[in-house]
Every structure is written in C-alpha cells, then in structure tokens.
Amino acid sequence: MTIADRRHAAINFADKLKLIPDLWQPRVVAELNDNQFKLVRIQGDFLWHDHPETDEAFIVIDGLLRIDFTDGFVEIGPGEMFVVPKGVRHKPFAADEVRMMLIEPRGTINTGAEGGERTAQNDLWI
C-alpha cells in the first residue's frame, strides 16, 4: 500500500451540494460528537419556528440569507455565520438561492417545535 492509498477524504461543500436536488432538504455530511453538519439549499420563505432545546448555527456558503426575528433581522453572506439562540423564534428567507451549512444536535428538526408540512426528512446523509 502506498501513501496515496492512505489518503483520507475531505468533505467538499460544493461537491456535496451538487448531490442535493431539492430545496429545503438538509443533508448530513459530518458529525461532531452528538452534533451534525448539514448542507442545505434554500430559496424563498420558510415558516416561523423555534428550537426549544438547542441553539442553531448557520454558515453561509453562497448567497445572502436573511433571518427575521420578532425584534429585527440579520443578513448573512458568504464567509459569515450566525447562531440563533435556543428558543428564539426565527424565519429564514432567501430572495435568491442560498447554499449554507447548519450545525445543530443530531435529531434537530428543520421546523423545530412548529412541525407541519415543511418538515423535512431528518438524518439523511450524502
């Protein structure tokens, strides 16, 4: 076995995102202890929701993400991140497509405590 055979593979965000055909469908690419790194493509409006059990981190890869809160909003561009604290109601919005990473505990549902028809299948890996 040569050293090249022993090369481990990095996770390439652009390559992984190409494997996600649908918007609003997070896919897990890695885990850190009990937390998951998920890639997702979004466009348009999501629903108001919160996660009563956990903070939720957003790292934007491409595009401009807006997250509305009851008391304001934040805009997050490429090379930027934001952490929505546990229990804070929020609504993501993307005028144009946004490609981003979510970091949150394994088991966290995209619609949080709200549920409903926009709830994505959870814990799907690419």
Minimum separation from the CB atom of position 104 to a copy of itself (A): 7
Dist CA 24 CA 40 (whole Å): 6
Q: What is the largest CA-CA distance in the chain?
A: 59
Q: Work out whether 69 is an interface residue with a copy of itself (CB under 8 A).
A: yes
What are the CA-CA distances from residue 121 to residues 57, 75, 90, 95, 110 (Å)?
Answer: 19, 27, 20, 24, 9
CA–CA separation, 81 vs 16, rounded Å? 19
Other C-beta atoms within 10 Å of 10: how many? 7
Question: Per rule CB under 8 A, is residue 61 in the interface with a copy of itself?
Answer: yes
Which of 65, 117 has the CB closer to a copy of itself? 65
Among the listed residues 19, 44, 45, 77, the single contact to a copy of itself using CB under 8 A: 77
With binding defined as CB under 8 A, does residue 21 bind a copy of itself? no
Find the part of the chain contacting a copy of itself (CB under 8 A) among 19-27, 48-56, 109-117, 118-126.
48-56
Residues lying near a copy of itself in the complex (CB under 8 A) are found at 3, 5-14, 29-33, 35, 37, 54-57, 59, 61, 69, 71-77, 79-83, 86, 103-105
